[in-house]
Structure 1
Amino acid sequence: MTNLKTIVLAAATIAATATTASAYNAFPFGETFEQTDQLQLDFVQADGAGTVEIYDYSNGVRGALLGSEEIRGGVNTNVKVDLGLGANSDILAVLNVNGSEVLTKDYDRR
């Protein structure tokens, strides 16, 4: 009976560690973006399907939603988010995966 408990505990620990180790979400490096009607991110890596949302980030405060784009789990390349008339200030990129906000990154307008 003790061996069975040990095996079950070991299996649960391995499963929990594997889930944690695979958790990786990322936006591209860089701190600036060109002011255009469309933001292009070279890549977005996500643990699951979700969205990239771009918000106005004037004075370091999250403002209006400027645009969003759906992504799939894994590495997404050339993610393009339409911003309408373009961002007139800094922006905040937000990655939502499975309904939860998992990553944010602010970009300064050039």
Structure 2
Amino acid sequence: MVLDGVGGAEGRAALELLAPAGRFLIFGWSAGSATEITTQDLYARGITASSALGPAMLKVVGGLRPLEEQALREAAEGWFTPALTEFPLAHAAHAHTALQSRATIGKVVLLP
């Protein structure tokens, strides 16, 4: 399974590594463009592709607000902890470099 949040050439490279009958899940394209996938890719390799958040999700009755409220409530109750990479404020330049080079996990937080 590939979870693709990058897209572009990197997403395509990940797609090429997918084994036959594998799954490709798109949830963003931080590279600036989505990974291009053709029906030939799907058919020839027997893979499936889908998106985690797309137009269908935006049509959920009541919008996304109920899901946001549930996520915030569960976070407040300690159900999950967000992934963070923390840096001292004095190392903000290093944090920026790490972010640009994709050396971070989750959100980048500068601490006073």
Higher relative contact order (CA 8 A, sep 6+): 1
TM-score (norm 1): 0.18
Decide which structure has greater helix share.
Answer: 2
Specify the structure having the higher radius of gyration (Cα).
1
Question: When the two structures are superposed, what TM-score results if normalisation uses the length of structure 2?
Answer: 0.18
Give the number of the structure whose residues are more often strand, by fraction. 1
